[in-house]
């Protein structure tokens, strides 16, 4: 489930650096290098990786334990740590340690578990944190947490104090280093993903028949002057059940470099079509309309393989200006991985990995250029080829996936059946896909010439190379570098704009690593 990235938390920061014993801030770091392409960082299973807009030689990484944002220089044969920003015990800057503040407000003494990171500007990165439930603000160029003026608009209907207990009260702005994503939700749905009735949470409005607090803060993006944050709303990890999925909406302004953030006064929350929303991506269609694409992974358990998947998956399309859910692309019982859609440079295709299979899924974003999707205020259009007048936006789904080959000496299926992530190269001609289980990097050619019809025919995608860059999850590989997850491609053209590695991969075992791989780079 999307929680598998949230492993743990500690109070001290330790970073790995290139054999120097220093992480840029006088901190003790690890020096052991297990692979000449890789730079180790503290902890294991790092949770987030993002390029920085307009800064092609930098990437920002989020590590889980100890919690920190780490800035990397990409020039050279392997990434180099430039600096780090640790997350303090008072992570949101409200004057109270997070565990104490949680207890004061009637919650378990929570501390933040770091999740994904998205750099939306050279000086603004957004970091998801579950458990304490928030989005932290950071300047990745320094790196350092940064302050925003955060407000709870109590003078607007539906913004009574219990609904946003961790936001500043009395309707007054206050300086914070994070915006809380813990809020009361009042769903129309009567049951969770397993069919169990939704009751009242005593801490919410007692006049409402059903309520729950958001949990598992996931992906986020900025579009049309708003911050959109998915919350997966896990109800029971043991039963693999989820409350209805939500996307929280915040007004976000940055006048003269300052930040101001508050819940949107008219539409503070949108409900997703399916359970467990995870990845969130911004997309601009052919008419210049800003859209928010939300990956609904569906209810899944903590294992691997098809038996792990419980409910349908899909991609929701939100018009960022009108705050309407305008379309839905069903993917079947697919269980896509929790990363945001990887969108090719032309904006034509969106790709997803798979959380429990060795597959990829893809949708045709050309279907979102139809202006009829944005007319009126009706139900979202189902882009499955069965809605009259609208195309099928599915290229690969659970019924017709893009299957990646097994590694001959790979992980046994009973142990790990596949966990993939995808990225597209800077030219838009190749897809790179990692597999956590087998330690591989697959390469898939894409032909978008023509342009092709909607949906792009499946035969325009051709898997042509399969490289065992890292060790598989098998007994003999214990101690070797393995467990590749998120994959990102450096901006610019290899051999022209830079001379180092062009593909960067997060690895989780035996320790967290950021590795640079030469694919198209000479």
Q: pLDDT tens, 308-338?
A: 899 999 999 999 999 999 999 999 999 999 9
What is the per-residue pLDDT for 19?
A: 27
Q: What is the mean pLDDT of residues 279-302?
A: 96
> 115 lies in a domain?
no
Is 162 inside a domain boundary? Answer: no
So what's the pLDDT on residue 302? 78
Average pLDDT over every residue of 70-99: 96
Give the C-alpha separation, 428 to 347, whole Å.
9
Contact 112, 129 (CB under 8 A): yes
Burial class, 261, CB count within 10 angstroms (exposed 0-12 / middle 13-18 / buried 19+): buried
Position 213 pLDDT exceeds 70 = yes
Run of H or E including 296: strand 290-296
Residue 22 has pLDDT above 90, yes or no: no
pLDDT digits (tens, 9 = 90+) for 102-119: 999 999 999 999 999 999
Closest CA to 410 of 344, 323, 470, 488: 470
Coil vs helix vs strand at 3: helix
CA nearest to 115, candidates 72, 184, 61: 61
Please give the average per-residue pLDDT across 265-285, as a whole number: 97
**435 located within any domain:** yes
Inter-residue contact 336 to 361 (CB < 8 Å) = yes
For residue 20, name the pLDDT band (cuts at 50, 70, 90): very low
Please report whether residue 281 resides in a domain.
no
Task: Note the pLDDT tens digit of each residue in 119-151.
Answer: 999 999 999 999 999 999 999 999 999 999 999
Mean pLDDT of 201-209: 93
User: What pLDDT does 304 receive?
Assistant: 73
- Mapped onto helix, strand or coil, the DSSP state of residue 255 is helix
User: Distances from the Cα of 133 to the Cαs of 44, 216, 220, 230, 327, in angstroms?
Assistant: 21, 7, 13, 11, 28
91, part of any domain: no
Token pair, residue 198, equals: 């939704």
Distance (Å, whole) CA 490 – CA 59: 9
pLDDT at 2 > cutoff 70? no
Q: Is 520 inside any structural domain? A: yes
What CA–CA distance (Å, rounded) separates 57 from 376? 44
Strand partners, 342: 351
Mean pLDDT of 273-288: 98
Question: What is the model's pLDDT at position 154?
Answer: 74
Mean pLDDT over 419-445 rounds to 97
Please write the tens of the pLDDT for every residue from 149-162.
999 987 655 555 56
Q: Is it the case that residue 34 has pLDDT exceeding 50?
A: yes
* Host domain of residue 425: 412-522
How many other C-beta atoms are found inside a 10 Å radius of the C-beta of residue 350?
Answer: 26
Whether 424 is in a domain gets the answer yes
In a domain, 433, yes or no: yes
Average pLDDT over residues 478-483: 93
Kindly report the backbone phi and psi dihedral angles of residue 369, in degrees, each rounded to the nearest multiple of 5, phi listed first: -85, -10
- HEC per residue, 380-408: CEECECCCCCCCECEEECCCCCEECCCCC
Q: What percent of the chain has pLDDT over 70?
A: 93
Whether the predicted pLDDT of 170 surpasses 90? no
Taking residues 15-38, report their average pLDDT: 50
Q: What is the DSSP string of 342-366?
A: EE-TTS-EEEE-BSSSSEEEEEEGG
- pLDDT at residue 160, rounded to an integer: 58
CA-to-CA distance for 360 and 433, rounded, in angstroms? 8
pTM over 0.95: no
Number of domains in the chain: 1
């Amino acid at each position: 489930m999307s929680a598998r990235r949230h492993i743990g938390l500690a109070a001290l920061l330790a970073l790995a650096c290139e054999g120097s014993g220093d992480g840029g801030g006088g901190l003790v770091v690890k020096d052991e290098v297990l692979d000449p392409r890789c730079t180790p960082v503290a902890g294991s299973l790092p949770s987030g990786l993002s390029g920085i807009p307009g800064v092609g030689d930098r990437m920002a990484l989020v590590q889980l334990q100890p919690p920190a944002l780490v800035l990397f220089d990409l020039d050279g044969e392997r990434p180099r740590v430039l600096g780090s920003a640790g997350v303090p015990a008072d992570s949101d800057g409200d004057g109270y340690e997070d565990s104490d503040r949680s207890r004061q407000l009637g919650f378990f003494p929570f501390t933040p578990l770091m999740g994904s990171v998205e750099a939306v500007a050279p000086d603004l990165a957004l970091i998801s944190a579950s458990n304490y439930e928030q989005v932290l603000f950071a300047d990745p160029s320094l790196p350092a947490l940064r302050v925003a003026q955060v407000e709870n608009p109590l003078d607007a209907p539906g913004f009574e104090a219990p609904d946003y207990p961790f936001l500043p009260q009395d309707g007054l702005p206050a300086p914070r280093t994070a915006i809380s994503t813990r809020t009361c939700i009042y769903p129309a749905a009567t049951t969770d993903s397993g069919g169990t009735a939704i009751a009242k949470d005593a801490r919410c409005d007692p006049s409402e028949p059903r309520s729950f607090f958001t949990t598992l803060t996931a992906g986020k993006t900025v579009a049309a002057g708003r911050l959109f944050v998915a919350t997966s709303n896990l109800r029971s990890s043991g039963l693999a059940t989820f409350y209805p999925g939500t996307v929280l909406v915040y007004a976000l302004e940055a006048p003269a470099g300052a930040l101001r953030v508050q819940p949107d006064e008219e539409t503070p929350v949108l409900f997703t079509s399916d359970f467990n929303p995870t990845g969130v991506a911004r997309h601009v269609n052919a008419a210049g309309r800003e859209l928010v694409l939300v990956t609904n992974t569906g209810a899944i358990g903590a294992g691997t393989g098809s038996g792990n998947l419980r409910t349908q998956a899909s991609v929701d399309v939100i018009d960022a200006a009108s705050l309407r859910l305008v379309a839905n692309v069903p993917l079947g019982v697919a269980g896509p991985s929790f990363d945001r859609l990887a969108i090719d440079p032309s904006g034509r295709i969106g790709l997803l990995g798979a959380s429990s299979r060795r597959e990829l899924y893809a949708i045709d974003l050309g279907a979102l250029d139809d202006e009829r999707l944005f007319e009126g205020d009706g139900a979202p259009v189902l882009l499955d080829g069965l809605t009259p007048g609208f195309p099928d936006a599915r290229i690969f789904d659970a019924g017709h996936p893009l299957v990646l080959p097994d590694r001959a000496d790979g992980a046994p299926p009973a142990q790990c059946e596949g966990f993939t992530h995808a990225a597209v190269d800077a030219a838009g001609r190749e897809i790179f896909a990692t597999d956590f289980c087998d330690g591989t990097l697959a390469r898939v050619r894409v032909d978008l010439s023509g342009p092709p019809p909607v949906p792009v025919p499946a035969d325009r995608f051709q898997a042509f190379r399969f490289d065992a860059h890292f060790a598989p999850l098998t007994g003999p590989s214990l101690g070797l570098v393995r467990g590749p997850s998120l994959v990102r491609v450096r901006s610019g053209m290899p051999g022209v704009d830079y001379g180092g590695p062009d593909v960067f991969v997060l690895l989780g075992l035996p320790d967290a690593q950021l590795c640079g791989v030469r694919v198209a780079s000479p």
